[in-house]
Amino acid sequence: MNGLNDLILQTTTKVTAFLILSFSLYLFIAGHNATGGGFVGGLMTSAALVLLFVSYGYERASEVLPVDFKLFIPAGLLIAVLTGVGSFVFDQPFLSHTYGYIDLPFFGEYEWATALLFDLGVYLTVVGVTMTIILSIAEDDEKN
Amino acid sequence: MTGTPILMASTSIGLIIVSVSIAMLLIRVIIGPTLPDRAAALDTLGINLIAMAGLLAIRLSTIHFNDVILLIAILTFIGTVALAKFLVKGVVIERNSR
CB contact under 8 A, B67 and A27: yes
Q: What percent of chain B has pLDDT over 70?
A: 94
d(CA B59, CA B3): 7
pLDDT of residue B97: 55
Please report residues of A whose CB lies closer than 8 A to that of B81: 9, 51, 54-55
- CA-nearest residue to B71 within chain A is A44
Mean pLDDT over residues A23-37, rounded? Answer: 88
Q: Which residues does B contribute to its contact with A (CB < 8 Å)? A: 64, 67-68, 70-71, 74-75, 77-78, 81-82, 85, 88-98
Q: What is the pLDDT of residues B80-98, one digit of tens each?
A: 999 998 998 888 888 775 5
On whether the CB atoms of residues A27 and A18 are closer than 8 A, the answer is no
Of A9-13, A20-24, B80-84, B86-90, where does mean pLDDT reach its minimum? B86-90
Quick count: other Cβ atoms within 10 Å of Cβ B55? 19
Residues B75, A36, B57, CA angle at the centre, nearest 5°? 75
Mean pLDDT over residues A108-114, rounded? Answer: 80
pLDDT of residue A110: 78
Please report residues of A whose CB lies closer than 8 A to that of B69: none
CA dist list (Å): B26 to A11, A56, B9: 31, 32, 26
Amino acid (1-letter code) at residue B4: T
Q: What is the pLDDT of residues A112-130, one digit of tens each?
A: 888 888 999 999 999 999 9
ipTM (interface predicted TM): 0.83
| Cα Rg of chain A, angstroms | 19
Q: Is A45 exposed, middle or buried (0-12, 13-18, 19+ CB in 10 A)?
A: buried
d(CA A103, CA A111): 9
